[in-house]
Amino acid sequence: MPTRTALRLLLILVVCVSLCAPLAHLVHADTQNDIQSQIDDRSQKIQAIQNEITALQKELDSTSSQKQTLQSALNTLDLSNKKLTAQISLTQTQISRADLQIQALSTNIATTSTSIQADNASIAAILRDLNSNDESPAALVLLSGGTLSSIFDEVVSLSTTRDDLRNQVKDLSSLKVSLTNTRTTTQQKRDELAALKLDLTQQKQALAATIADKNSLLAQTKDKESNYQALIAQKQAQEDEFEQELNAFQNQLKGVVDTSTLPTSGHHILQWPLANIRITQYFGNTPFATQNPQIYNGHGHSGVDFAASPGTRVMSADPGVVLGTGNTDLTCPGASYGKWVFIKHTNGLSTLYAHLSVISVGAGQVVATGQTVGYSGSTGYATGPHLHFGVFASDVVQISSFPSKGCRGRIYTMPVAPLSGYLNPLSYL
């Protein structure tokens, strides 16, 4: 009879629906296993490279704590070069792994889509049969030899099976959405890694420039330590002269810090500008600075110095707008900030990033917290690679120009504030 035939057909299709998805996955099992094997291989390589980077960083930390000599500077550069090369290899391997993950997800999505299409076709056919059977009068079934009990059992079985099929299609549809979302997330991750690869390539370019500077320095010193130390003393004298010039200009500036515009002193108002933090010089060093830890009085250090091997990524400490960038070495080599970036934030603070080897942003550019603004170096007055990080009260700081006495006829351009406008970075980091 029609309803029994429909039931048999329905049960056959239920079995098919239950088996189709696994069979479809089995078709791709070998491919998926091969991809997973490659993913596992990339993961092992990533771990090995990360271990190598950690070991190189330990060597760098040890080298940077040694007395500053020509040889120690060159050793630091060699280790930094190896570390950056390893980081680039790491990122390339991470990108390769992400590509394989996307490939595996795409295969799963295609298989699931095929299963859903087959299930939908089966459901449509079954529903048509069910609708046709539902329209058959019960009296006709009884006259053909059926009983009320058999009719009831058959209707319940058909209804239950139909609901199960609908739920299965719903589950498969949810799986497809989940896989699609996962693929999108993985693609976004791959894009991030590709951007990181570009960053690391720029870091290596910065390191190459730093190595070239050191090679030039070796040529100037004729590879003699005594000549190198004499150059350091000369740079120190230039820096002292610059500080006197800067202080004289600062004393001419008018402006009183409106403390109501500043955030309350406390940790985590600003993000650290480097991924790894080791402070090599603190803010200020006078009784005034000690008693008033947020205010700089012109005698001591106007910011905080962080250890940073050449080519280390420097990040914005808060969202803001780049008010300007510059390079004081073009005015008077080795006397001041070197390559610098200055950012105004929305919380009443502005930040300075100095002694960079490469500047990655431009004036007027909007930056986010953690965005790369440049790469560390040793431009300006720096006896070794590091980052000078300064914090200012935004309402009194400005990018100003003033003449250089040490390099006559040249003009400095850089962020400058009244003495009270320099703030202790550690009050906000």
Q: pLDDT tens across 37-68, in order?
A: 998 999 999 999 999 988 988 888 787 767 77
Structure confidence at residue 165 (pLDDT): 67
* Region of poorest pLDDT, from 66-70, 324-328, 419-423: 66-70
Query: Would the pLDDT of 277 be above 60?
Result: yes
Using 50, 70 and 90 to split pLDDT, how confident is the model at 322? very high
Considering only residues 358 and 265, tell me which one the structure prediction assigns the higher pLDDT.
358
* Gyration radius from the chain CA atoms: 34
Q: Hey, what are 18's tokens? A: 């239950």
Structure confidence at residue 244 (pLDDT): 67
Considering only residues 247 and 41, tell me which one the structure prediction assigns the higher pLDDT.
41
* Region of poorest pLDDT, from 19-33, 132-146, 151-165, 191-205: 132-146
Q: Give the integer Cα–Cα distance in Å for 414 and 428.
A: 22
- Predicted TM-score of the model (pTM): 0.70
Instruction: Tell which residue, 191, 129, 183, has the closest CA to residue 161.
Output: 129
Please answer whether residues 179 and 112 qualify as being in contact, where contact means their C-beta atoms are separated by less than 8 angstroms.
Answer: yes
Which CATH superfamily hosts domain 257-427? Glucose Permease (Domain IIA) (2.70.70.10)
Highest-confidence range of 25-29, 227-231, 311-315, by mean pLDDT? 311-315
Token pair 């539902």 is at which residue? 134
Query: Would the pLDDT of 236 be above 50?
Result: yes
Structure confidence at residue 240 (pLDDT): 67
Based on the number of CB atoms within 10 Å of its own CB, is 90 exposed (0-12), middle (13-18) or buried (19 or more)? Answer: buried
pLDDT tens, residue by residue, 127-143: 666 566 555 554 444 44
Q: Which helix (H) or strand (E) holds 252?
A: helix 225-252
Query: Would the pLDDT of 289 be above 60?
Result: no
- The residues near 415 (Cβ < 8 Å, ≥ 6 apart) are 323, 324, 340, 342, 350, 352, 390, 392, 397, 398, 399, 400
Q: Enter the DSSP assignment of 377.
A: B
Considering only residues 158 and 79, tell me which one the structure prediction assigns the higher pLDDT.
79
Q: Give the integer Cα–Cα distance in Å for 423 and 296.
A: 6
Query: Would the pLDDT of 29 be above 80?
Result: no
Query: Would the pLDDT of 15 be above 50?
Result: no
Instruction: Tell which residue, 390, 297, 305, has the closest CA to residue 345.
Output: 390
**Dihedral sign for Cα atoms in the order 72, 74, 75, 76:** positive
Q: Mean of the pLDDT values across residues 92-117?
A: 81
Structure confidence at residue 152 (pLDDT): 55
Q: Give the integer Cα–Cα distance in Å for 39 and 94.
A: 10
Q: Hey, what are 1's tokens? A: 């009879």
What are the domain boundaries of the chain? 2-208, 257-427
Q: How many alpha carbons fall within 13 Å on the CB side of residue 388?
A: 24
- The per-residue pLDDT of the chain, averaged, comes to 77
Number of Cβ within a 10 Å radius of residue 234: 11
Query: Would the pLDDT of 327 be above 80?
Result: yes
